[in-house]
Structure 1
C-alpha cells in the first residue's frame, strides 16, 4: 500500500534502532571482554541475589515450569533464578561468560543441596546449538539481552526452546535512576539518562517484525541493596559504572542521605523497580528463522 510517495510497510526498523542504542552504550562504557567485566561484579551480584531472594521466588512463580522440564538459563549469573528453578524441574543448563559468576552459582546450588544443573562458560554468541546442547523445554533470559543484534539473539533463544521462552527486561525505571538524577542535579546539570538498552517495547516490536506475537506482564517490586557503609556504596557504584570518578563527591552525599542502617551494622538502600516479563511459546507462531 502506498500513501503519497511513502511505502506503508515497515516504516521503523526496531532492530536497527536497538543496534544504534547498543553501539552508543558500548562505545562509552565497555572496553573489556564481557567475561572480565562480569567477573569483577560477581561478588556484588551474589550479595544482591541473597538480599532479594524473595523477588526471585516471585519471578519464578510467573513461569510455566513442570517437574520433567529442562530449562536453559542464558546469562544465569550467580543463580538468582537458576537455583529456585532447579528445585522445580528436571535440570537446568546455566550459560554465562563469567567464570566467577558460575563459581558462585555452583556454590549456591551446593548450598541448596541441588545437583541438577549443568554449566556452560560461554558467551551466548559463541554457543553452538547443534554441538553444545539439545533444545530445552523452557528458555530463559533475565536481564541478559545485551546483544548488538537483538533479532539474532531472540531467534537463537527461540530455536533453543521446545516450548516456552521468557525474557525479563527493563520497563523504564531502574533502581539506579534516583542516584543518577541526584548526581546530575547536584552538579548543576540537566538530568539526561546515560546510554542504556531500549526497554521492553523495542523487544516486543522486534519480535512482532519477526512474526512472533509475545505476551507481556509488567511487575513492580521493592528492591534493596546492602552496603558496609557510604564508602562501600560509592565503590560499588563506580564498579558498576553508574557514576564516574568526577561524580564521586555527589554520590557520597546521595548515599549519606539515603542509606538506612539495619540491625547488623550494615546499611540498606531501598528503591522501587519495574520490570517486564516477555513470553511466547511455539504454538500458533507464524515464524520461520532466517538466521543460520
Structure 2
C-alpha cells in the first residue's frame, strides 16, 4: 500500500468508536447478556423465516460441510444451518444468546452444533477451533473495532469461502437515533461503519469480493405507546422525565396504527460480500 493511501481500517475503527461512545453500552455483546432480550431477538427473527432461508440458500453449504458462524446470536442461522451441514461451530460471547441458542437447538433436535463462548477478537483459532471450515459466515455481526485483523482471521479459519453480511446507509433503527439524539443529549448521533468502508477495507487487503445488495422491510409492532417507549428507553439513553417526553412525542408522531397495534416500519439496505480465500492467499 502506498504511504499516502487511505487507511480504511482506521476509518472503520474511528466510526466504530464514535458510535460506541454514543451508545455507551460497553460493546455489541454486552446488550445481549439478558436472556429476555436474546429470546425476543430470536422470536423476531422467526417471525420472518423466509429471510433466514434466503441467507441459508445463498451459502454453498452441503451435507458434508463444516460451517463457522461468527457472532451467532441466539442461533438464528446456526441452528437451521446445522440441519443442512455436517457440523456447525457457533462463536458467540453473550450469555443470554448462548443460553437461548442451546434451548433453540434442543427444541429443533440439533446435536451437531458446538458453541465457542468468546468474542471473535479474543479467540485463538489453534486452541478454540477444530481445523478449517468450508464456509465461514458473519451475518450482521461485524461489531469489531479492528475489522482488518478480524477478516484476516476469518480467512485463515476458512478452507474455501467467507461470507459477510452488513448494512448500507442509515438503517431503520438508526434513523430515530439520528433524529432525536440532539434533543435528548445535545450532540449528533454517530452511526457505526457501513458497507462502503467494509468494501474498501477488503479491497485494501487485496480481496475483490462478490457484492449483492437487497432491500428488507423492518417492522416493530407494539400494543400501545407505553410499550414502545419502554422498548426504546434504554437504547435512546433516556434517564429524565424531560427526555422521556421527547421520546414519547417522537414515537407518537412516527408510529402508525395497524389492527389495533402500533408499527414502526422502514426499509434497510443489506449487503452480502463473499469470496474464495484461495484466490486471496
Task: Give the TM-score of the pair, scaled to structure 1.
Answer: 0.83
Counterpart residue number, 2:24: 30
**Structure 2 residue 170 is the aligned partner of structure 1 residue 173:** yes
Counterpart residue number, 1:197: 192
Query: Secondary structure at 1:100's aligned position in 2?
Result: helix
Measured in 2, the distance between the counterparts of 1:28 and 1:188 equals 12
**Structure 2 residue 281 is the aligned partner of structure 1 residue 275:** no
The equivalent position to 1:59 in structure 2, one of 38, 55, 66, is 55
Query: Secondary structure at 1:284's aligned position in 2?
Result: helix
Q: Tell me which stretches of 4 or more aligned residues in structure 1 moved more than 4 Å.
A: 7-10, 187-192
Task: Give the TM-score of the pair, scaled to structure 2.
Answer: 0.86
Measured in 1, the distance between the counterparts of 2:62 and 2:266 equals 33
More displaced stretch, 146-155 vs 32-41: 32-41
Q: CA deviation at 1:10?
A: 4.8
Whether the aligned pair in 1 keeps the contact of 2:20 and 2:26 (CA below 8 Å) is no
Measured in 1, the distance between the counterparts of 2:120 and 2:207 equals 21
Measured in 2, the distance between the counterparts of 1:195 and 1:129 equals 33
Q: CA deviation at 1:223?
A: 2.0
Please show how residues 251-266 of structure 1 align to structure 2 within 5 Å.
251-257=247-253, 258-262=255-259
**Structure 2 residue 231 is the aligned partner of structure 1 residue 244:** no
Query: Secondary structure at 1:162's aligned position in 2?
Result: strand
Q: CA deviation at 1:279?
A: 0.7
Measured in 1, the distance between the counterparts of 2:29 and 2:226 equals 26
Q: CA RMSD in A?
A: 2.7
Whether the aligned pair in 2 keeps the contact of 1:71 and 1:139 (CA below 8 Å) is yes
Whether the aligned pair in 2 keeps the contact of 1:180 and 1:243 (CA below 8 Å) is no
**Structure 2 residue 159 is the aligned partner of structure 1 residue 162:** yes
Which residues of structure 2 form unaligned runs of 5+? none
Matched residue count = 275
Measured in 2, the distance between the counterparts of 1:242 and 1:73 equals 30
Measured in 1, the distance between the counterparts of 2:185 and 2:99 equals 41
Whether the aligned pair in 2 keeps the contact of 1:227 and 1:268 (CA below 8 Å) is yes
Which residues of structure 1 form unaligned runs of 5+? 1-6, 288-292
Counterpart residue number, 1:13: 7
Whether the aligned pair in 1 keeps the contact of 2:136 and 2:161 (CA below 8 Å) is yes
Query: Secondary structure at 1:176's aligned position in 2?
Result: helix
